[in-house]
């Protein structure tokens, strides 16, 4: 992820004061559904995080850092072990809302690490009624405990809709990623499925946010995946979140 932060710092250093920015610290509880808990080694966990973003005339940037199972240790058995996850996303304007798209995700625990780097093209559709939509298409590089190299492609989108009801502001947000054309060495071992277990995978979440004030936001996220997160097949869960905005 270091290369991504270098690019981000170089991009931002060339910009004036941001046109917008936001940030928050958050408390979260991730409740996997019964199917995920029965079919995989996943278990419910809490995590704390900090996130933020900003936009300039030609650059938009977002990132987060999460501490999962913050009261636990690296030496605890998964899924109750201490873990760190981080994400960065930068879009650089090309022309007419087309953008160079960069994103980088990293997770580290005592028994496993992963770094997914994505580089491609995006397009942002913005409206005057609180809705924006950004699809992208990119190449995907994986660097983890079991595989290192170019790992096919990724496409997906971000979607956000802001609206007001009952004198409160609300948001509906979705992120969705589809991996395809994965390297066979990533998901097959002597013809047997391993890890994500397929040539394609789905990963994402859709969330509903209620902005109680400028300071506090509460939300519920439906988290979903298939042939992703180290397991073949469907996985889903619900995340309950409280944010303190600054």
**According to the model, what pLDDT value does residue 62 have?**
96
Whole-number mean pLDDT of the chain? 94
Percent of the chain scored above 90 by pLDDT? 90
Q: Where are the alpha helices (DSSP H) in 89-145?
A: none
Q: Stretch 142-157: mean pLDDT, rounded?
A: 97
Structure tokens at 141: 């590089």
pLDDT in tens, 10-56: 555 556 788 999 999 999 999 999 999 999 989 999 999 999 999 99
Domains and CATH numbers, the chain: 2-12+24-245 (2.40.230.20)
Q: Of 4-8, 75-79, 228-232, which has the strongest mean pLDDT?
A: 228-232
pLDDT in tens, 47-82: 999 999 999 999 999 999 999 999 999 989 989 999
Quote the pTM value.
0.92
Q: Range with the lowest mean pLDDT among 18-22, 102-106, 145-149?
A: 18-22
Q: Residue 44 contacts by C-beta under 8 Å, 6 or more apart in sequence?
A: 29, 30, 31, 32, 37, 237
């Amino acid at each position: 992820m270091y290369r991504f932060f270098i690019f981000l710092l170089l991009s931002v250093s060339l910009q004036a004061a941001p046109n917008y920015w936001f940030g928050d610290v958050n408390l979260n509880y991730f409740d996997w559904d019964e199917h995920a808990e029965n079919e995989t080694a996943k278990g419910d966990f809490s995590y704390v995080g900090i996130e933020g973003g900003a936009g300039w005339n030609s650059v938009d940037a977002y990132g987060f850092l999460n501490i999962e199972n913050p009261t636990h240790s690296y030496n605890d058995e998964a899924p109750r072990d201490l873990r760190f996850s981080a994400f960065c996303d930068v879009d650089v304007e090309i022309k007419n809302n087309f953008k160079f798209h960069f994103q980088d995700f990293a997770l580290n625990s005592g028994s496993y690490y992963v770094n997914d780097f994505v580089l491609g093209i995006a397009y942002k559709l913005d409206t005057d009624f609180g809705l924006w939509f950004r699809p992208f298409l990119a190449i995907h590089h994986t660097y983890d405990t079991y595989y290192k190299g170019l790992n096919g492609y990724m496409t997906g989108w971000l979607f956000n809709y802001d609206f007001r009801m009952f004198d409160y502001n609300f948001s509906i947000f979705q992120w969705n990623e589809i991996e395809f054309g994965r390297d066979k060495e990533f998901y097959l071992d002597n013809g047997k499925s391993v890890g994500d277990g397929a040539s394609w995978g789905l990963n994402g979440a859709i969330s509903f946010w209620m902005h109680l004030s400028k300071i506090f936001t509460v939300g519920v996220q439906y988290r979903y995946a298939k042939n992703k997160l180290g397991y073949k097949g469907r996985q889903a869960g619900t995340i309950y979140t409280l944010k303190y905005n600054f």
